[in-house]
Structure 1
Amino acid sequence: MGEYVRIATYEGDADFPAYMARPAGSAQGAVIVIQEIFGVNPGIRQKADHFASLGYLAVAPDVFWRQQVGIELDPDVPEQFQQSLVFMQGHDFEAGIRDVEATIRWIRREAGVPRVGLVGYCMGGKIAYQAATRTDVDASVGYYGVGIAGMLGESHAIARPLMLHVPMADGFVPADQQQAMHDGLDPNPHVTIHDYPGLDHGFAAQMGKRRNEDGARLADGRTEAFFAEHLR
């Protein structure tokens, strides 16, 4: 079982909650787990717990804390799915990436774990890309990130390993955007893009109707190997 901790903002004028799961022994590295638009819900906490079981300190910050603390929504409930879209539209991504930087700093300074990775899902996939271009995170992984094609102008700043999982039937990221991502990122030796034919957005969700078991296992296996290579 994990616990909640408080992390000071980058500016030091407030703090925000984060779910933290510790490994059984000393941490071999740390993984920041960035939520989908549904908050730090049971699925995200399970992902953090899983990374802890692999030997990492896992930290899942509450991304929407400026709007409302403790949001937990179920994507399989239509009303809650619509509510999550409102929170996503109200999210300040510029402030949010500073929260990521604050989390990286907290892990290194307060938790004493020097090597830090980040994995993000959906909206968190976009944030994983931002982390790769705007922070000194050691390695990052994005699952079905939305909006990355519009941020390719930042790709020159990627200097550490980045892996992206792209479902080719993603209704939120059409084929032209997927191709733009390949065109803009394939030349960068730090970037690896995995395509998943026939799979849709959310295929690696920990639970619920969106999950595709075979696709999730394949992508998660690649993520675990990636972090084992770059964080240990």
Structure 2
Amino acid sequence: MTVLIDASDHSGSFDAYVAKPEGVSRGTIVVIQEIFGLNPGIRKKCDDWAAQGYLAFAPDLFWRLQPGIELDPDVPEQMQQALRWMNQFDQNKGIEDLEATIKAARKRAGGGKVGVVGYCLGGRLAFMCATRTDSDATVGYYGVGIDNLLGEKHAIANPVLLHIAGADHFVTPDVQAKMHAGLDDHPKVTLFDYPGEDHGFAAEMGKRRSEAAAQLADERTAAFFAEHIG
């Protein structure tokens, strides 16, 4: 199902895909999209969390550019479109919209804890949620440019888990080294490396998925949320 969430700056409203669990929810998970919009892979992530007993939300973060963007990374021209959308995207407004989503999700759930998980661009935004919002637990998969956000690490108050693709062509070894140097000793942050894996290895569908690494990362994420969300 889709719900409408009001932007906190009163500039309009945006859609969020919602997947509900059967029975009583054990907590809420906000799923943050890649640069490909709110596409079938992200909706499947929500459905899978619902199957594990969570209420799951995925907001359409590109709505300020064009509502309803859905792109396929395996189609070259759509990949180029996605990169153009990413370059136009206002990340600070994206965090405002994620904060509005967290509040709306918490309200719809009648309170309780809200976790955040993001992929690619969403992995970066997840880290920003950990430093700028009240998310109760946060997971980022192959987040881009996190080395440029390390100055915010003092604001991390709740647990954070980051999955790093060892052969990520967007997050090069020098950037990975900076992430480890800046975060390994942080008491709230855990980093897992996946040697030889490339960006997008945990995508739900398409050529980027690497099954064994995706399953391992997802198992670690599920255990993390079970511990910190419910």
Where on the TM-score scale, by shorter chain, does this alignment land: which range? over 0.9
What SS is found at the alignment partner of 2:74?
Answer: coil
Percent identity between the two aligned chains: 60
Q: CA deviation at 1:27?
A: 1.0
* RMSD over aligned Cα atoms: 0.8
| Equivalent-residue separation in structure 1 for 2:13 and 2:109 (angstroms) | 16
Q: CA deviation at 1:11?
A: 2.6
Question: Taking structure 2 as the reference length, what is the TM-score of the superposition?
Answer: 0.98
| Equivalent-residue separation in structure 1 for 2:9 and 2:25 (angstroms) | 27
- Residue correspondences, number: 230
Q: Among residues 125, 128, 131, which one is paired with 2:123 in the alignment?
A: 125
- Residues 142 and 162 of structure 2 are in contact (CA less than 8 Å); yes or no, is this contact kept in structure 1? yes
Residues 3-18 of structure 1 mapped to structure 2, 5 A cutoff: 3-18=1-16
What amino acid is the match of 2:140?
G
| Runs of 4+ residues deviating >2 angstroms | none
Which digits, 9 at most, give the CA deviation of each residue in 1:165-210, with x for residues without a partner?
0011000011111010011011111000000000000000000000
Residues 15-30 of structure 1 mapped to structure 2, 5 A cutoff: 15-30=13-28
1:114 paired to 2:124: no
Q: Among residues 135, 139, 162, which one is paired with 1:164 in the alignment?
A: 162
| Equivalent-residue separation in structure 2 for 1:112 and 1:27 (angstroms) | 10
- Residues 133 and 158 of structure 1 are in contact (CA less than 8 Å); yes or no, is this contact kept in structure 2? yes
What amino acid is the match of 1:195?
D
| Equivalent-residue separation in structure 2 for 1:75 and 1:83 (angstroms) | 10
Q: CA deviation at 1:107?
A: 1.2
Gaps of 5+ in 1: none
* Residue of structure 1 in register with 2:142 after alignment: 144
Q: Among residues 221, 224, 228, which one is paired with 1:223 in the alignment?
A: 221
- Residues 33 and 58 of structure 2 are in contact (CA less than 8 Å); yes or no, is this contact kept in structure 1? yes
What amino acid is the match of 1:107?
A
| Equivalent-residue separation in structure 1 for 2:7 and 2:115 (angstroms) | 19
* Residue of structure 1 in register with 2:184 after alignment: 186
* Residue of structure 1 in register with 2:102 after alignment: 104
